[in-house]
Chains A and B, each alone.
Chain A
Amino acid sequence: MMSQALGGGFADAPVQSARAFRTALDAMARPGRILRVGGAKPPAPLSVAAGVLLLTLCDRTTPLHLAPGHDAPEIRDWVTFHTGAPLVTPGAAAFALGRWEALQPVTRFRIGQPDYPDRSATLIVELDELTNEGAVLTGPGIETVARLSLPELSAFHLNRDIFPLGYDTFLTSRDKIAGLPRSTRVEAG
């Protein structure tokens, strides 16, 4: 294992991961709200925000899929050392990480079962820019409407149609995260 893969974890894991977990919860509870996180220094091209989410949400019991572009040795080693998450194919993943194009087709990811809708995947989608512009979001956790720079609309329409099944999505860019749970309705802006 390469030595540089071993740095960049939380310096104070209990406190930092608790804070980051709270932020991730807030992001999912308030779809479209952009929040900032910090504390991780993951290897490129992983963003700080995606790194923080991995450190906070992944462990040995959460299989992770790294999409092409993020499936590099440095990232594999970093994830293995800091989280222990097994690296798997899309159909077996509890979490999937990559750019939107690299994650396609997203229909490969688990959407849960009618009696266990929670047995589904959470996607972490890396974007160049994450802003409150573009698609219009409505639904639980949004008082009126929110706007978010989504990479695409049709996939999220399909995902909303199969509610309560479906995947949940975090969008990340540099130190910014936003949540897009399966319950959110998405329209063109």
Chain B
Amino acid sequence: MSVERPFSQEILARRRWMGLAARSGPDRLRELLPDLPAHELLRTPEIGAVMVQGRAGGTGTPFNLGEMTVTRCSVRLASGEVGHAHVQGRDRDHARRAAILDALMQTDAAPDLEGKVLSPLAQEEAARRASRAARAATTRVEFFTLVRGEDQ
């Protein structure tokens, strides 16, 4: 099963919130979303590995680089919405919370969660990235080729 590309607005929005939840620290997500609604576990949080692929030369034939730990979970809310999560690491609670967030974002609670959970996560991530880029920029260097004395 595969959906058409380019992706619709709905799918792009869902990709965004699922990515934010997966990249967030487990502790931070718990702080922002402390209370969980009643839910059924369709797939109990399960720790596994995902094989990460690279490309030869950065752009060529794909190859298997090595694995990373990933925890996945799927839930169904009492109101019927189904949420899925695949999150980096081995934190079962993180996967469950991310799956619930995915389900809740399909309900009327979405605007509220956008303000309380997703916007803070997005802002913090942007700040983290900008700070690292700024730090990298302090080590940017211009190399000058020196002309040797005997060549003058």
Q: In the bound complex, do residue A3 and residue B82 qualify as a contact, i.e. CB atoms below 8 Å apart? A: yes
Are the CB atoms of A80 and B1 closer together than 8 Å? yes
CA gap between A81 and B42 in the complex, in Å? 10
Listed by A's residue number, 7 A-B pairs whose Cβ atoms lie within 8 Å are A3-B80, A6-B42, A10-B44, A12-B44, A13-B46, A77-B1, A81-B74
**Which residues from B are CB-within-8-Å of A80?**
1
Q: Give the number of residues in A that approach B within 8 Å (Cβ atoms).
A: 13
CB–CB B44/A11 < 8 A: yes
Question: B76 at the A/B interface (Cβ < 8 Å)?
Answer: yes
Give A3 to B1 CA distance when docked, in angstroms: 15
Question: A155 near B: Cβ within 8 Å?
Answer: no
Tell me the smallest distance from the CB of B17 to a CB of chain A, in Å: 18
Residue in B1, B43, B80 whose CB lies within 8 Å of A9: B43
Residues from chain A with Cβ under 8 Å of B44 in the complex? 10-13
Within 8 A of B (CB), among A98-123: none
Sort A-B residue pairs by CB-CB distance and give the 3 closest, nearest first.
Answer: A6-B42, A3-B82, A7-B42
**A6 CA to B40 CA, complexed, in Å:** 11
Could you tell me the distance between the alpha carbons of A81 and B43 in the complex, rounded to whole angstroms? Answer: 9
Nearest-Cβ distance from residue B142 to partner chain A, whole angstroms: 49
Complex CA gap A126/B75 in Å reads 30
- Once the chains are docked, how many angstroms separate the CA of A12 from the CA of B46? 10
User: Is A1 positioned at the interface, with any CB of B under 8 Å from its CB?
Assistant: yes
B4 to chain A, nearest CB (A): 16
- A1-26: which have CB < 8 Å to B? 1, 3, 6-7, 9-13
Q: Which of B32-70 contact A (CB under 8 A)?
A: 40-44, 46
CA distance A31 to B28 in the complex (A): 54
Cβ-defined contact, B76 with A6, below 8 A: yes
Q: Looking at the assembled complex, report how far the CB atom of A81 sits from the nearest CB atom of chain B, in whole angstroms.
A: 8
CB distance from B123 to the nearest CB of A (A): 33
In the assembled complex, which residues on chain B have CB atoms less than 8 Å from the CB atom of A10? Answer: 44
- Given contacts A3-B82, A9-B43, A11-B41, 5 further A-B pairs with CB under 8 A are A3-B80, A7-B76, A11-B44, A13-B46, A81-B43
Residue of A nearest to B40 (CB): A7
| Contact mask for chain A residues 151-168; partner B; CB cutoff 8 A; 1 contact, 0 none | 000000000000000000
Specify which of A3, A12, A77, A81 is in contact with B76 (CB 8 Å cutoff). A3
Residues of A within 8 A of B41 (CB): 11
Q: Which of the listed residues A6, A11, A77, A82 has the most CB atoms from chain B within 10 Å of its own CB?
A: A6
A6-B1 contact given A11-B44, A13-B46, CB 8 Å threshold: no
Closest to A7 in B: B42
Q: Which of A6, A12, A13 contacts B74 (CB 8 A)?
A: A6
